Amino acid sequence: MAARTEDAGPEMSSPNPRPAELSNRGIFDGFEGYRTATRKEYVSALKTGLVALDANVLLDLYRYGEQGRHDLIAALRAIGDRLWVSHHAMAEFWRNRESVLKDRGGTVQLVKTVNSSKDSIVKAIEFWGKQRSHPDETVEELTAEVTTSLDKIKDEVEELSNEETELWARDTSKDEVLQALGEILAGNVGPPLSEEDYAAALTEAKRRGDEQIPPGYLDAKKPEPDSAGDFLVWEQLLLEATRRKLDVLLITRDAKDDWVRRESGEIRGPRMELIDELRLRTGQQFYLRTPAQLLELAQESLAVHVSSESVEDAARISDRVDVLWRQGRELYRDTANFLDNSKSLQEPRWNTETATRFLVELGWLDRLAGDATKLAVLTGGTVGHEVLMRLGITPEPLILRQIAAAIEEQAKRMVQEGEAPVEALDIVEPVRIKQPKGNSVLVAYKIRKEFLFDLLQAVKEPDSQMSSSPAVKVELNDFLKRLKRLEWDSNDDASES
């Protein structure tokens, strides 16, 4: 946003103001974050409030099918001048637009994987047929069945991305989404922060990241300015809400824990800190909805026709292609198991070499996650309170979730690159303890036993130890000593016998 005006409210971090006089209050006064917003309040915010769009909402217009895109654009158009996009969100849109257009939701990578799997499996079947001297008709039936199954998966994926969009990437004048957004958002995109305010915002984002103040602290380990992205969007939104003196309805697909409050895994609303901060800065209310929820509200309150297919499209867009990709990989794996005598298939396997790469790259991605994983491998396979304490970290569920997220991210990268089996996507599993009231508390993540042996061998490799913390090196040294004593005891027993 632009430099602050006189009515822009207090600075970025505002302490709770001391009331002029003490008086009795209601049960929600000062506890607004606990109250569940009503349907009526969401409708009111949509019809009269400032409706802000996150960058992922704009980018998802390229990922939706034609009907979903049409309906969301119609809903946005109906909001009118109260629709708004922060300067930083628009910058993120432009920075990521071409990459999304060239591979919306990983479609290109998925199609390449399916085609590669199909070619490998067909060659394997032909090799198997010759080795076993099966009739040509049998081999042809098997290859036809595999080809049909994989082509069906590929066609379904491509149906979700059925428009030619590479031309849109090359020529903005041909981009139908940009044409619509150019009309809808004319005069509705916020200006950038001044140089002075931008520098102050980066400093404040770092402080909030260090203190785990939402939003954006989960990105704190990214390099600047990416680490400050969510806070820049938030700060610019606060400034605009102060200027307009309107309630805020933020539309976003971001469901990370530094934006939303969860209870027993269920999203209950925005983080209470965000509700309180916006109320203190602006005197207004803060609401959060997804694109799918926006479509439902728009149909009800803005007289916009929205198909049920569009709502479903918006709700599933983040994970639909991933599900299909897993289906393709599972089919490939199952066929490979059937053709166990074939030498043509090169299905990635989990072994010491794979585990070593996993640990090395995990350490690059997230130092704490790398050290925690190595220490867990050496002490039984559980990333929990004991491991965190050994590393000098206060044990908290949030820290555990961040470590698990880094582990899963590294596994996903290696699977996508064909360097690890698809089973590695589930390399860790949560350990929860049920409370008397029925809620469960996350206490640890356990490395699945089928990955543990090779990780244990990998921990001893020099490459894995290059970036390890002192705690890991001490534990490894103790482990190797225990192993040596076991070898001596075994040799003594053998000599006595």
Distance CA 46, CA 79 (A): 7
User: Span 347-356, mean pLDDT?
Assistant: 85
User: Span 325-354, mean pLDDT?
Assistant: 58
Distance CA 239, CA 77 (A): 23
Give the pLDDT band (50/70/90) at residue 245.
Answer: very high
User: Span 247-265, mean pLDDT?
Assistant: 85
Give the model confidence (pLDDT) of 27-47 as tens digits: 888 787 788 888 999 999 999
Is the per-residue pLDDT at 424 higher than 80?
yes
Query: In Å, how far are 205, 226, 350 from 418, measured between CA atoms?
Result: 37, 28, 11
Q: Give the model's pLDDT for residue 337.
A: 56
Is the per-residue pLDDT at 209 higher than 70?
yes
Give the pLDDT band (50/70/90) at residue 224.
Answer: confident
Give the model confidence (pLDDT) of 296-321 as tens digits: 898 888 888 887 777 776 776 644 43
Q: Give the model's pLDDT for residue 65.
A: 79
**Higher per-residue pLDDT: 473 or 334:** 473
User: Span 209-224, mean pLDDT?
Assistant: 87
Give the model confidence (pLDDT) of 459-490 as tens digits: 877 765 555 667 667 776 776 666 556 555 54
Q: What are phi and psi of 235, to 5 degrees?
A: -65, -45
Can you list the pairs that 271-274 forms with residues at least 24 positions away whose Cβ atoms lie under 8 Å?
Answer: 271/33, 271/214, 271/215, 272/32, 272/33, 272/34, 273/33, 273/213, 273/214, 274/214, 274/215, 274/234
Dihedral angle, C-alpha 272, 277, 278, 282, nearest 10 °: 150
Q: Which range, of 150-159, 172-181, 265-274, 320-329, averages the lowest pLDDT?
A: 320-329
Q: Give the model's pLDDT for residue 326.
A: 44
**Higher per-residue pLDDT: 225 or 334:** 225
Average pLDDT in the chain: 79
* Closest by CA position to 448, among listed 385, 352, 373, 339: 373
Contact 434, 329 (CB under 8 A): no
**Higher per-residue pLDDT: 362 or 467:** 362
Can you tell me which residue has the tokens 């690890």?
420
Is the per-residue pLDDT at 250 higher than 80?
yes
* Closest by CA position to 92, among listed 130, 47, 59: 59
**Three-class SS of residue 286?**
strand
Q: Give the model's pLDDT for residue 494.
A: 47
Which strand (E) or helix (H) includes residue 442?
A: strand 440-447
The count of other CB atoms within 10 Å of the CB of residue 400 is 23
Query: In Å, how far are 111, 264, 365 from 392, measured between CA atoms?
Result: 45, 28, 20
Q: Give the model's pLDDT for residue 170.
A: 66
Is the per-residue pLDDT at 353 higher than 80?
yes
Preceding peptide of 215 cis, ω within 30°: yes
The C-alpha angle 43, 188, 276, rounded to 5 degrees, equals: 50
Q: Give the model's pLDDT for residue 479.
A: 64
The fraction of the chain above a pLDDT of 90, given in percent, is 27
Q: Which range, of 62-76, 164-178, 308-322, 369-383, averages the lowest pLDDT?
A: 308-322
Q: What are phi and psi of 83, to 5 degrees?
A: -75, 135
Dihedral angle, C-alpha 231, 235, 241, 242, nearest 10 °: 150
The fraction of the chain above a pLDDT of 70, given in percent, is 75
**Higher per-residue pLDDT: 161 or 74:** 74
Q: Which range, of 7-11, 105-109, 230-234, averages the lowest pLDDT?
A: 7-11
Q: Give the model's pLDDT for residue 312.
A: 76
Q: Which range, of 63-72, 99-108, 345-354, 480-489, averages the lowest pLDDT?
A: 480-489
**Higher per-residue pLDDT: 358 or 468:** 358
Q: What are phi and psi of 224, to 5 degrees?
A: -70, 145
